[in-house]
Amino acid sequence: MKIISIDPGKYKCGLILAEIREKKVCEATILKSELIEAYIRNLNSVEDISRIILGNGTSSKEIREKLNFFEKEIITVE
């Protein structure tokens, strides 16, 4: 089971793709906030992502709107 965790920011986002059962980080990156939707769309097409965890910090509402295409669970956390 893979999840994506996002630390949203106005100009850039931190993103981690992790395999929960193996307790392994598969990928960690920082990218421009404007690219997050395309990046996750691409990642979702090649990985079986079960949920997204989104920090509720700067620009989290804007990032959440960009993720409306994701049909599985999106959790917002402190």
**pLDDT, tens digit, for every residue of 25-71?**
999 999 999 999 999 999 999 999 999 999 998 899 999 999 999 99
Q: Identify which of 61, 49, 42 has the alpha carbon closest to the alpha carbon of residue 4.
A: 49
Total-model pTM: 0.92
**Residue 58, pLDDT score:** 82
**Residue 25, pLDDT score:** 97
Rounded to whole angstroms, the Cα distance separating 31 from 21 reads 26
**Residue 26, pLDDT score:** 96
Count of helices and strands (H, E) across the chain: 2, 5
**Residue 68, pLDDT score:** 93
Q: Which two tokens stand for residue 36?
A: 């997050």
